[in-house]
A = this chain, B = another copy of it.
Amino acid sequence: MAVNAANAVGKRRSLLHETRCQNCSLSSLCLPLALELEDIEQFDAIIRRRAPLKKGESLFRQGNAFNSVFAVRSGSLKQVTTEGSGDDQVTNFYLPSELVGLDGIDEQAYPGSVIALETTTVCEIPFDRLDSLSEQLPELRGQLYRSMSKELRDDRRMMRLLSRKTADQRLASFFSSLSDRFRRRGYSPYSFRLSMSRADIGNYLGLAVETVSRILGRFQQQELVEVSGREVNILNLEALLAQAQEEH
């Protein structure tokens, strides 16, 4: 018992240290992006630390009351919306520094479940506190507007992908986009591990799993990528980008 208490204290301390915005390697991408050091402290003060989620655990479930948005700190998640009986739709993947839950503001409930694809840590940001802080900090407010606006833009891009692109182009886009997101986060844009299954990818891109498999095979023959299970090696990023943007 005494040991447990000591552990708990030690754990809390290191957790606090690890998770202060001031020390966070993601701060140049995350919400506090535009803030001065002293403002970051204010922002930091409203953030709640969360125990890491294990693979498959949900951050929240569809329909849960909306209270907070979350910034991904490490790991990754998927957003899944269920309509009717068992017809799931993966509507987003979230990587570190990205904001989860913004689409719940309007109806004060989350419109989809968000599920960890691997061990994942997030920062919880109670929305009412964020809102009132954004009253005092115009930069924070601006950053919040920008985050939502960017998500809108990304959504439009996704719609274009879903309504106009072939299966090949969809996968090429998907890998290009992942590559770019990893690059921005300081990881290798050429070599990474997919945290989502083929089924998730297919569902997200509006394709059958079989199609995903087949096209990955084709991409390997064309020596665009090298895929082994969930390990991805991009061999020819330019060609992949070209594929992705090709006219029909």
Cα A146 to Cα B103 with chains together (Å): 9
B150 touches A106 (CB 8 A): yes
**Would you list 15 pairs from A and B whose C-beta atoms are within 8 A, ordered by A residue?**
A102-B148, A107-B153, A112-B156, A131-B141, A132-B138, A135-B138, A135-B141, A148-B152, A152-B152, A155-B155, A155-B156, A155-B158, A162-B163, A163-B206, A164-B206
Chain A, residues 179-194, CB within 8 Å of chain B (1/0): the string is 0000000000000000
| Contact residues in B for A206 (Cβ distance below 8 Å) | 162-164
Question: Are A152 and B149 also in contact (CB < 8 A) when A89-B160, A141-B131, A164-B206 are?
Answer: no
The verdict on A111 contacting chain B, using a C-beta distance below 8 Å, is: yes
Known contacts A105-B146, A162-B163, A206-B163: A245-B141 contact under CB 8 Å = no
Name the contact of A85 in the complex, choosing from B105, B152, B247 (C-beta under 8 A).
B247
For A198-216 the 0/1 string (1 means CB < 8 A from B) is 0000000110000000000
A127-164 CB mask vs B (1 if < 8 Å, else 0) is 00001101100100110111111111101101110111
Q: Which residue of B lies closest to A151 (CB)?
A: B152
State the CA gap A164–B84 with chains docked (Å). 13
| Known interface pairs A89-B163, A103-B156; 5 further A-B residue pairs with C-beta atoms within 8 A, sorted by A's residue number | A84-B247, A85-B247, A103-B149, A103-B153, A106-B147
Interface membership of A97, Cβ < 8 A: no
**A38-80 CB contacts (< 8 Å) to partner B:** none
Number of copies: 2
Choose from B149, B159, B160 the contact partner of A104 (Cβ within 8 Å).
B149
Question: Which residue on chain B has the smallest CB distance to residue A248?
Answer: B87
> Does A120 touch B at the CB level, under 8 Å?
no
- What residue in chain B is nearest A156 (Cβ atoms)? B91
B residues less than 8 Å from A176 (CB atoms): none
Q: Which residues of B contact A149 (CB under 8 A)?
A: 102-106, 148
